[in-house]
Amino acid sequence: MKKRILLCLAHMSETGMERKFVQEAFDDNWVVPLGPNVNGFEEDLEKFVNLVDTKSGKHTLDKKVVALSSGTAAVHLALLACGVQPGDEVLVQSFTFCASANPVTYLGAIPVFVDSEPDSWNMDPELLEKAIVDRISKIGKKPKAIIPVALYGMPYQIDKIMEIANKYDIPVIEDAAEGFGSRYNGQVLGTFGHYGVLSFNGNKMITTSGGGALVCPNQEAKDRIMFFATQAREAYPYYQHEEIGYNYRMSNICAGIGRGQMTIVDDHIRHHQHIQSLYAELFKDVKGVKLHSSANPFSDSNFWLCTILLDENLPVKGQERAYQQAINQAVGGAAGVVHAGGSIHTDCEPDVNVEAIRLGLNEAGIEARPLWKPMHKQPVFAKCPAYTNGVSEAMFARGLCLPSGPWVTDEDVHYVVDTIKSLII
């Protein structure tokens, strides 16, 4: 029986460096949310994000990094550091996972969603400025932060976004959770804005099993984030709290895994980019299927996930059976999910031929998923302001994510593409 080809799952280094660092933590009894591995992992991350591009040599950075329990925690603390308070508005890319927007609500603030431009599928700079001007006009004050997202690893138009953000003096929080190692004009994503969010979930470019980090502008900002991430404890010989804090620090065990993963991060990025190039070669003569890439010469994606768009009229075997059976678990079969969906259909869903391809791949032992459903179409955010142009809804209707992770082999890619070809009528 052929193995099941999973979408994206990180794996350990062949040298077992992860095991070495974790064992050291146990041997030294550092099994708490601080310790040598946490410090070492942060140092490794700082070296990585501050790298100067060898081709241009254009930038010199001195960003600081705080290792946290998740990328979501990083978004939350970045918003807190930017002074977001109840009733404030935060501009968030609509085409993203909910973790980009949910933390806005933790602070009692309101996410204002901005649609995408068609090249990168990320935040549309022109729509962003329109949203800023309109929010100032409507509520009499500007948004408190801007959150662009590196969707599937693809760099956003950060030069234009930063120009607009600087014009209106609004801090940018880069959500580079999917874009670890992606670059724009040679500079690592997460280092352009005031803060940068990283994720090390089990499906990301590198993993700490679960975890994240926040890229900070300087040591003072890092110390402030660290303060909030460790329950806002004051310097007394007893527990004194003058502000509300959070239990967001990364554990020394998880950081040990991260230190080992940093030894192979460049290999992982090269592998994802290789898988993308192989898909591109195999799909080039397949009518009705388009592999997503960017035409921007400054964009250098890690291709965390490789994604395709189907022509809306492309006939696919079995599409008459699409959406005939209700799904009884969350996408990806997430552990602990017990909340069943309400109905088979929603008011915004992938086309029937896309769903038919997904089902056909699943029957062939291949995991594939729809693109992120835009946040402005999510019921939980139905009352939030949104500035749309139809791009994210069109991509969601036609798109599919294909297996792209470190475990995916060249043979697997051939099998995926051959299976898709066999499903097209």
- Reported as a single tens digit per residue, the pLDDT across 81-132 is 999 999 999 999 999 999 999 999 999 999 999 999 999 999 999 999 999 9
How sure is the predictor about 36, in pLDDT bands with cuts at 50, 70 and 90?
Answer: very high
Q: Taking a C-beta distance cutoff of 8 angstroms, is the pair 122, 387 a contact?
A: no
Please report, in angstroms and rounded to a whole number, the separation of the first and last CA atoms in the chain: 26
CA distances from 309 to 79, 193, 265, 292, 370 (A): 34, 30, 28, 7, 10
Strand order in the sheet with 145-147: 145-147, 89-93, 110-114, 386-387
Residue 323 in tokens: 């959406």
pLDDT at 146 over 80: yes
38-44: average pLDDT: 97
Residue 167 in tokens: 């014009």
Q: Which pLDDT value is given to residue 351?
A: 97
Q: Quick one: 266-423 is in which CATH superfamily? A: Aspartate Aminotransferase, domain 1 (3.90.1150.10)
Q: Which pLDDT value is given to residue 1?
A: 45
Strand order in the sheet with 306-310: 289-291, 306-310, 399-402, 369-370
- Which single residue is written with the structure tokens 């699409």? 322
Question: Quick one: CATH architecture of 17-264?
Answer: 3-Layer(aba) Sandwich (3.40)
User: Any idea what DSSP says for residue 149?
Assistant: B
Which segments of the chain belong to CATH 3.40.640.10? 17-264
CB neighbours of residue 239 within 10 Å: 8
CA distances from 204 to 177, 207, 254, 264 (A): 8, 6, 14, 13
Of 20-29, 100-109, 123-132, 158-167, minimum mean pLDDT range:
20-29
Q: Which pLDDT value is given to residue 332?
A: 54
Distance CA 211, CA 67 (A): 8
CA distances from 311 to 288, 317, 339, 368 (A): 5, 14, 33, 17
pLDDT at 31 over 90: no
CA distances from 312 to 113, 287, 316, 380, 396 (A): 26, 12, 11, 28, 12
Sign of the alpha-carbon dihedral angle for 120, 408, 309, 354: negative
> Going along 11-141, which residue ranges are E strands?
64-68, 89-93, 110-114
pLDDT at 286 over 50: yes
Instruction: Tell which residue, 115, 121, 98, has the closest CA to residue 386.
Output: 115
pTM: 0.94
Helix (H, G, I), strand (E, B) or coil at 268: helix
User: Any idea what DSSP says for residue 376?
Assistant: G
- Reported as a single tens digit per residue, the pLDDT across 337-391 is 666 666 789 989 999 999 999 999 999 999 999 999 999 999 999 999 999 999 9
Distance CA 420, CA 423 (A): 5
Q: Taking a C-beta distance cutoff of 8 angstroms, is the pair 272, 304 a contact?
A: yes
- Which single residue is written with the structure tokens 């993963």? 261
Q: Which pLDDT value is given to residue 335?
A: 53
Contacts of residue 33, defined as CB under 8 A and 6 or more positions apart, other chains included, come to 69, 230, 247, 249, 250, 251, 252
DSSP labels, 374-395: PGGGSGGGTTS-EE--SHHHHH
Q: Which pLDDT value is given to residue 330?
A: 60
Which segments of the chain belong to CATH 3.90.1150.10? 266-423
Task: Name the residue with higher pLDDT: 329 or 286.
Answer: 286
User: Any idea what DSSP says for residue 34?
Assistant: B
Distance CA 67, CA 213 (A): 4
Q: Which pLDDT value is given to residue 331?
A: 59
